[in-house]
Amino acid sequence: MLAACIFFLCSSVTPVKNISFIDFRKSFIKGYNSLNIPQLQLSYAANFQNIQSLAGIQQQINFFQQIKTAVVIYKKDSLSKEETNDLDLIEYETNLNLQRLALEKDWLRKRPAVIPTNNFHSIPDDSAWYVYYVKRWLGADVNPDELYLNGIMEIDSVKKHINDIRLKTGMDSSTFYHHLNDDSFFLTSQSQVQQAFEHVKNIIQKNLSNIFSITNIPDIKVERGTNNELAQTPGYYSNNTFYYNYWDSPYDKKQVAWLFIHEAIPGHHYQACISKQSKLSDVQQLFWYPGFSEGWAAYCEELGKELGVYQTPYDELGKWEWDLVRSVRVPLDVGINYYGWSDAKALAFWKKYISNHDDIAMREIERIHRWPVQVITYKYGAEQIIRWKKILQLNSNFNIKTFHEKILEPGALPFFLIEKNLDDGKKIL
C-alpha cells in the first residue's frame, strides 16, 4: 500500500507493476478526491468560472497522465466484473479529464475579460469545447454533425407518430388541431392539476409490477414547484418530491401522464431509489452521467400504455408533443452553439416544425444559449435504450423486467459500459 501511495504523490516515479488493482483503485479514489475537481454545472459560464489556476491544472494533468500510464498494466481477464468496470471507468474518465485540462490550459491564455453568459459560440476554442461538452454531458463520444442529422430524422419520426394519432381520430389536420384547443383538454386550477397528478401516480403504482421487478420504493410526494430558476421546465424532481410548474394559466391535461412518468415513477425518482439500493463501487460514486439519467427518464415515457396512463390517443399525444420539442432541440443546440446560428435563424428552424408556440421557442433558445448540450441528453439517452430493447426483443427469451433491472442495477454510467453489462459478452448489441 505504501508503494501505491508514493506512486500518486510523486509525479516523477515510474508506475510500480506489482501494485494490486485493489490498492491502485484505492489510491485513484484518494488522489482524485484530493484534486477537488468542481462538479459539472448546467451553465457553461459557471464551469469556466470554476477553472482552477495553472498550478492546479498542472497538478491534475500530472495525476491523470500517471493514471493513463498505469491502467494498461492491469489485464481484464484477471479481474472480477466489478473491477473490470472500475478499470474501464477510470480509463474513460482519465481520457475525458485530460481532454478538459488541455482546453482549460489554453483557456487561461485566451479567456476574455468578461465571460459571456449566453453566447457560447463567441468563446475561444468554442468548437473544441462543444465537442468536449457533448462527451461530458452525454457520456458518449458523438460527432456534433451526426447529432444534428439524427435530430432531423427524429423530428420526422415523431411528426409521423403525431399524424398517426390524428388519423385514428378521423379528423382532418385543421379540425384536429382546432379540437386540441377545446376547453375539455385544460385544467383551470391548482387543485385540479394536483388531483390529476395524484390520479396518475395511483394508476402507475398499481401497474408498475407489470414491467418492473422491483416495486418497493419510497413514496414520492407531489407538489407545485416554487423554484424560479427551474421555471422554464415543465417540472422537476428533488429529494423524493415531484414538482410540477403551474403558473396560474390553463394547464394542458395531455402533459400530466408523461411528465409524472419522467420525473417520478418509473423515471428519476424510481431510478434514484434503485441506485441507492444498488451496490455502486466507490469509483462509480465519484462521477455523474446526466446522459443516462435523463435518457432513462425520457425512455420511460414510452411505457405509458403498459403503466395504464395512456388510455386515450390524446394521453399519448402529450408525450409525442413534448418529444417533438425534445427532437427539435437537438439540431437547435448544435446549430446555436456549434454552427453559430443567430436567434432569428434558430426561431425560424423552430417554426418550421412547431407552430403556435413561439413563447416556448424563445424560452428554449435562451436555455440552450446558457446550458449547451444539456437538452440533447434526453433524446440521445432514450434512443440508446430503445435501440438496445429492439435488438434484444428479437430473442424469444426477452423479459422486459430483466431488461429494466439490468439497465438500472449498475447505476448511471457512460453508455458503452451500460451496453457492455447489458450485452454480457454476447456481442449482439
**Rounded distance, CA 353 to CA 279, Å?**
44
3-state helix/strand/coil string of 177-209: HHHCCCHHHEECCHHHHHHHHHHHHHHHHHHHH
Tens of each residue's pLDDT in the chain, 429 residues: 434 444 544 443 344 567 899 999 999 999 999 999 999 999 999 999 999 999 999 999 999 999 999 999 999 999 999 999 999 999 999 999 999 999 999 999 999 999 999 999 999 999 999 999 999 999 999 999 999 999 999 999 999 999 999 999 999 999 999 999 999 999 999 999 999 999 999 999 999 999 999 999 999 999 999 998 888 789 999 999 999 999 888 999 999 999 999 999 999 999 999 999 888 899 999 999 999 999 999 999 999 999 999 999 999 999 999 999 999 999 999 999 999 999 999 999 999 999 878 888 998 999 999 999 999 999 999 999 999 999 999 988 999 999 999 999 888 999 999 999 888 767 667
pLDDT digits (tens, 9 = 90+) for 343-355: 999 999 999 999 8
**Rounded distance, CA 333 to CA 101, Å?**
24
DSSP structure string for 244-267: E---SS-EEGGGHHHHHHHHTTTT
DSSP structure string for 118-149: S-GGGSTTHHHHHHHHHHHHHTS---HHHHHH
Q: What are phi and psi of 236, to 5 degrees?
A: -160, 165
Q: Are strands 241-244 and 186-187 parallel, antiparallel or unpaired?
A: unpaired
On whether the CB atoms of residues 140 and 415 are closer than 8 A, the answer is: yes
Query: What is the per-residue pLDDT for 247?
Result: 86
Instruction: Give the residue among 229, 225, 226 at the shortest CA–CA distance from 367.
Output: 229
Show me where the domains of the chain are located. 2-115, 144-423
Nine cell digits for residue 27:
489510491
- What pTM was computed for the model? 0.92
The amino acid present at 353, given as its one-letter code, is Y
Overall size of the chain counted in residues: 429
